[in-house]
Amino acid sequence: MMKREMILIVDDELAVVQALTRLLEIEGYHVVGTTDPKEALEVLRQNTPSIIISDQRMPHMTGVELLLKAHSLSSSTIRFLMSGYTDIDVVISAINDGHVYQYISKPWQETEFLLKIQSAMEYWREQQQNEQMVRQSLSEVKNWEALFQQTSSLMTQTMASSVRTLEKVIRAKDEELLFHSERVSQRALQIAKFIGMQPERMKNLEYAGIFHDIGKIAIRDQILHKAGRLDEDEFTKMKAHPAVGAEILRELPFMNSVADIVFQHHEKFDGSGYPNNRKGEEILLEARILAVADAYDALISKRVYRDGLSEEEVWTILEQSAGSHFDPQVVAAFRRLNETLENQEIY
């Protein structure tokens, strides 16, 4: 496959421009060369070269001055400074200041020169891919923010209508996500009632259960529904959802306490969770309850990448994780509650 990325060459010696142009065109690059720095700036105003190579010693404008201007016109362009050894102090200073990627010494050695260009081009391609991913992520976040703001404008001042509107936002993203959240909310309330939690705190827990995953509206479906293990980058994106969810909820003043619970629901009892590595009773009791209810529903429910586990398998996991992932007292209370409910069903 031919490499058609554009390289801009600037040198006041025409022979240098021509020699480098021939060398790079043989490698398949699209090359634009000029002996005039002002003309080079005009090229930059109309195009986005992958790489610019500039000589240091030129009349009217030095290479460093040109590359500084190039940075302001096209920040993604990789900048090379070409110089003789007598300018090495200038080169080092330019690189350290962050304006220049590398330098090319005069006279250049062709193999070394092409290796530097190849390395820089690979770096440029990688940066372009990363920027594209960021743009896509931001676009998705903005789309959901727009939906949230649009629905928020229709809210009344009552908490009940606000909750219904937020539920619609989740449903618009993923209906099963809302069903999961409602089940988690109800189980968390059962545990809270069983241990004697105050009604006001239970109301916050109820809402936290419903909205604990609202931050997932900012995560791409390819990650949420991936039929396999998430890679490191995908897991990093996934781990952002408690913070994103809390930020969304804090837009509603009466949801501040709910936001705190949502923010902490992936913390672990031993301090190995996220986002802040809280441990033990540093984690809100509501968040500790929510973590158990969330895990129970996630394990027992069928997912795109696996079938749901049996009750016995789920309880084995929960109890083995008590004291590390989960609050052991919450797990024990949930187990007693579950046994109580089973006995009631028998009778």
Catalytically active residues are: 216
Instruction: In whole angstroms, give the CA distance from residue 341 to residue 311.
Output: 14
Q: Enumerate long-range contacts of 136-143, CB under 8 Å, 24 or more apart.
A: 136/220, 137/218, 137/220, 137/237, 140/218, 140/220, 141/218
- Whose tokens are 């900048």? That residue is 79
12 vs 173: CA distance, rounded Å: 58
Tokens of 174: 């993923």
Q: How far apart, in whole angstroms, are the C-alpha atoms of residue 30 and residue 8?
A: 9
Radius of gyration of the chain (CA): 29
Reference 60, options 131, 6, 10, 125; nearest CA is 10
Residues 6+ apart with CB under 8 A from 117: 7, 24, 27, 29, 51
| 3-class secondary structure, 105 | strand
CA 289 to CA 329: how far, in whole Å? 10
